Structure 1
């Protein structure tokens, strides 16, 4: 027994005249499609890498509020340290007067309202308290080195980028300020130092520690993929089920047998239910691995609702792609849609070139702004534009998808009529062939009967053949009709057995 014997049969050589044109056509089509895909992915790689290009040199666009409640040597040290650190790779320190922010609580509100990415302020009378502590005694024992210089920030707002752009740089500013303070006040500090007091000596070597007021600590490991893999998987999840729904509609020929408005309504219900469950699973996975992240049940419900809206609008947008784009370009549109959306949330726009601010209008950026507002307890007030962006995509997706159902129903009916007409033509051709064969058979029988009568010259009554022939003809006719009607099922069964793996329609065909 041979291994797949039909595959081992003798076939024409690759240099055979009948094969050569096809070989050249395959090579040409493969080359052109290779270039199309390579240019597409080269453009996508350049787009996403361009958003991260020279990220450090854009750090100066991150604005940090500075308020000097002390008004003494420590505030001067901070200014001197910033003058040395100032540059493209360091956040911009924007000093404001005490009258603009008379209380530290107003600074927290400014950071919460995203007027600034972060803030640094000195505690009132901090310099005098430090000088008194160096003299020793009760002032040294009660001195709090954590109540001198404080930074305010929101780790939930682009957490991975904030870690390096804000927290690390502000710690560097605090350390540099300590050096500047020692250089400017070191001689006087040594004169005032009580060398017999261990507490005073410790304060001299470590005058203050930068205190951190994090509006929403976000330290769980899974936060690294909230703005990447989570968004990508949501989009791919919708695309897979969209293909399933479209396949069911085609397999059961619903487009040519059900009214379009009913199909549109059912599709919306199915997609809403599917994305509702998918959003619940996504939100549940985030909550299950939050690892000490302080978020409550209300935030979970809001996260679920926002992810549901985002998932559903992506289902609709991808459905619009499959309706209005030629099939060869649907996979290209999918990967382009994913990359452009993810790029819009990889980094704050302040750390990317200005060109990438076009991402303001993309659903991924909008949904991430809403999620940040939810997760940080309202400390990212971007809902005034983020929610309208999401709802605009949702409404346009519903309209485009609904119109697409009518479009598919229209062309499905045309195809059904064409298939029916082709089937009728095949049946007619088979009947005509059968009738011609029947005429030939009848003429042959008549010739045989005439020859037999001439030989015998004996009159006799012959039995009628009409009933037998008519019954046989009816059976042949029914067999032809059944064979033509079942041809599509046979062909689809053969296709399943002879499948060569997944394939795509080609953008270029020779």
Structure 2
């Protein structure tokens, strides 16, 4: 038995004149599309990398509120340390008076309301308590090292970024402050140091430990993909199912058999149910692998709802793209949509060039800000713009997607009419050919001698034509049925059906045959 015998049958040479035009057309098409795709992906890579370009040099755009409640040597050391560390890669400290922020709670409120990325403050009377601890005794034993310098931040807000941009830099500021304090205030204080008191020596050698007030600790490993793969997979999920739905509508020819408004209603119901279940699965996966992340049941439900809205609006947006964008460009539009959305949430806009702030208009940026607000219990209040952006996409998507159903139905009916006309022409041609063949055979079998009268010959010919026509009419239904059956063979229908206005269509993993008509 041969191995793929048909594939090894002789074929014309590549230099054959009949093959040469095909070869040139193929090479031209391959070259043009190669150039087009390379330009597209080069642009996407540049756009993506541009948002991350020199990220560390933009850290100075991260603003930290500083309030000196101490008013002594420690507060002064903080200022001197900041002047030493001040650079493009270090957050900017904005010092405000204790009259503006009279207590630490007001600093926490300011950070929670995202007026600042973080807060840093010295505890009241910290310098005096530290100096008193050097003398030993009860002041040394009751001295609290964690009640000197405090950083306030929200780790749920771009956790992978603020870990280094805020917390690590504030730890560096704390250490630099300790060094400056030991160089300026400690030489004077050492004169009163009670070296026989271990608590006093400990206070002198290690005067404080930076205290962290983190609104929502977010340290689980899965946090790395909340603003990348989670969003990408949601978009891919909607695109794939959209292609499946389009394939079903083509397979069952619903655009030509069901009224457009019913098609639109059913499509919206199907997409709503699909995204409802899909967002539930995504939220369930996040919660299943949260690894001790302190989020509760109410946050689960709200996360589910906002992801449902995000998934459904993207289903509609992709549907709108596939309605008016030529099919050949749909994959390009889809990958561009994915990259633009993900790039808008990779980093806070403070760490990207100003151009990328146009990403405020993208749904991924809005939904991620809503999620950070949910996860940190309201400490990212940007709902005033995020929710309207999401609902604008949802409403426009519903309207344009419904209009698209009418457009698809219109072109589907036109295509059906063209197919029916082509079928009738094919049947008519087949009948005419069959009639002519039957007539020829009858005439050949009933030839009369040349000596007979002309009237008899004409009458015989007329009778033959009548019989042939009657036979052809009787066989017309059977012939039409045979042609329709031939045109509806598996695989042939997919080749002949036009998908120009149906959008992306995938073969169905679990297919269902159309009900057969008599």
Q: Does 1:357 align with 2:357?
A: yes
Q: Deviations over 1:130-185 (max 9, x none)?
A: 00001111101000000000000000000000011001100000000001101111
Task: Determine the structure 2 residue equivalent to 1:460.
Answer: none
Q: Deviations over 1:71-99 (max 9, x none)?
A: 00000000000000111110000000000
Whole-Å Cα distance in 2 between the matches of residues 212 and 29 of structure 1?
A: 61
Whole-Å Cα distance in 1 between the matches of residues 11 and 189 of structure 2?
A: 97
Q: Does 1:222 align with 2:222?
A: yes
Deviation of 1:478 (Å): 3.2
Whole-Å Cα distance in 1 between the matches of residues 139 and 381 of structure 2?
A: 43
Whole-Å Cα distance in 2 between the matches of residues 153 and 452 of structure 1?
A: 117
Q: Deviations over 1:92-150 (max 9, x none)?
A: 00000000011110100000000000000000000000000011111010000000000
SS at match of 1:256: helix
Task: Determine the structure 1 residue equivalent to 2:189.
Answer: 189
Task: Determine the structure 2 residue equivalent to 1:485.
Answer: 484
Task: Determine the structure 1 residue equivalent to 2:306.
Answer: 306
SS at match of 1:93: strand
Q: Deviations over 1:421-474 (max 9, x none)?
A: 000111111111122222222322331x547999xxxxxxxxx98998677545
Asked if structure 1 preserves the Cα contact closer than 8 Å seen for 2:435 and 2:472, the reply is no
Whole-Å Cα distance in 2 between the matches of residues 157 and 118 of structure 1?
A: 11
Matches within 5 A, 1:433-448: 433-447=433-447
SS at match of 1:15: coil
Whole-Å Cα distance in 2 between the matches of residues 401 and 472 of structure 1?
A: 51
Extract structure 1 runs of 4+ deviating beyond 3 A: 449-454, 464-476, 493-496
Task: Determine the structure 2 residue equivalent to 1:102.
Answer: 102
Deviation of 1:331 (Å): 0.3
Task: Determine the structure 2 residue equivalent to 1:246.
Answer: 246
Task: Determine the structure 2 residue equivalent to 1:200.
Answer: 200
Task: Determine the structure 1 residue equivalent to 2:426.
Answer: 426
Task: Determine the structure 2 residue equivalent to 1:296.
Answer: 296
Whole-Å Cα distance in 2 between the matches of residues 476 and 20 of structure 1?
A: 45
Deviation of 1:476 (Å): 3.8
Matches within 5 A, 1:140-155: 140-155=140-155
Deviation of 1:25 (Å): 1.2
- TM-score with structure 2 length normalisation? 0.91
SS at match of 2:446: helix
Asked if structure 1 preserves the Cα contact closer than 8 Å seen for 2:443 and 2:464, the reply is no
Q: Does 1:118 align with 2:118?
A: yes
Distance change in 2, residues 1:227/1:277 (3 Å): same
Task: Determine the structure 2 residue equivalent to 1:90.
Answer: 90
Distance change in 2, residues 1:317/1:248 (3 Å): same
Q: Does 1:412 align with 2:385?
A: no
Whole-Å Cα distance in 2 between the matches of residues 167 and 450 of structure 1?
A: 114
Whole-Å Cα distance in 2 between the matches of residues 494 and 16 of structure 1?
A: 33
Task: Determine the structure 2 residue equivalent to 1:458.
Answer: none
Whole-Å Cα distance in 1 between the matches of residues 469 and 215 of structure 2?
A: 92
Asked if structure 1 preserves the Cα contact closer than 8 Å seen for 2:431 and 2:472, the reply is no
Whole-Å Cα distance in 1 between the matches of residues 106 and 400 of structure 2?
A: 46
Asked if structure 1 preserves the Cα contact closer than 8 Å seen for 2:487 and 2:493, the reply is no
SS at match of 1:212: strand
Matches within 5 A, 1:308-347: 308-347=308-347
Task: Determine the structure 1 residue equivalent to 2:509.
Answer: none
Q: Does 1:52 align with 2:25?
A: no
Deviation of 1:4 (Å): 2.1
Whole-Å Cα distance in 2 between the matches of residues 60 and 465 of structure 1?
A: 99
Task: Determine the structure 2 residue equivalent to 1:393.
Answer: 393
Whole-Å Cα distance in 2 between the matches of residues 390 and 494 of structure 1?
A: 40
Whole-Å Cα distance in 2 between the matches of residues 428 and 466 of structure 1?
A: 17
Distance change in 2, residues 1:151/1:247 (3 Å): same
Whole-Å Cα distance in 1 between the matches of residues 192 and 76 of structure 2?
A: 20
Distance change in 2, residues 1:294/1:83 (3 Å): same
Asked if structure 1 preserves the Cα contact closer than 8 Å seen for 2:159 and 2:218, the reply is yes
How many residues in Structure 1 have an aligned counterpart in Structure 2? 488
Q: Does 1:9 align with 2:9?
A: yes
Deviation of 1:28 (Å): 1.2
Asked if structure 1 preserves the Cα contact closer than 8 Å seen for 2:344 and 2:356, the reply is yes
Task: Determine the structure 1 residue equivalent to 2:167.
Answer: 167
Deviation of 1:494 (Å): 9.0
Matches within 5 A, 1:278-297: 278-297=278-297
Asked if structure 1 preserves the Cα contact closer than 8 Å seen for 2:439 and 2:468, the reply is no
